[in-house]
Amino acid sequence: MKRLCVILGGGLAVVAAWLLLLPPELHARERACVPFHLKTEDGKIINPLTGENADQPYSPRQTCGACHNYDEITKGFHFQQGWDRIRDDFSKTKPWVLSDGMLGKF
C-alpha cells in the first residue's frame, strides 16, 4: 500500500512538473473538439470506414454547426466583410463602392 502511494505520488509529481514546464503557448492552447462526425451539406453522416457518403465533401455548416451556432458565428466581420451592409447605392461620391467592408469595397 505504502509503495502504491509512493508510485502514485511520484507519478502525480511528474505530471505536475510536466504541466508546469510546458511552453507557455501550449498552456494557452486548448483542445477545441472531441471526435465528431463529418456531415454532407444536406446533413448526412460521412463515414469513410463504411463508405457512407464517403465521396462527398464535408460541410462546415452541418458538421461544426451540429454543436456550434454557425449562423451566429458567421455574423462576424471576418465572414461578412461588409456583405451584411452591401447595397448598390452605398456611396454617392464613389458609386463603385458598395460596402464599408472588403466585399464590394472596390
Phi, psi of 2 (to 5 degrees): -65, -40
Which listed residue (35, 43, 44, 66) binds another protein by CB under 8 A? 35
| Pairing assessment for the beta strands 45-46 and 38-39 based on DSSP bridges | antiparallel
Q: Which of residues 74-93 bind another protein (CB under 8 A)?
A: 74-84, 86, 88, 93
Alpha-carbon distance of 40 to 45, in angstroms, equals 6
Give the nearest distance from C-beta 51 to another protein in angstroms: 10
> Which is nearer to another protein, 10 or 76 (by Cβ)?
76
- Binding residues vs another protein (CB under 8 A): 23-25, 28-33, 35-38, 41, 45-50, 52, 54-61, 64, 68-70, 72-84, 86, 88, 93-96, 98, 100-106
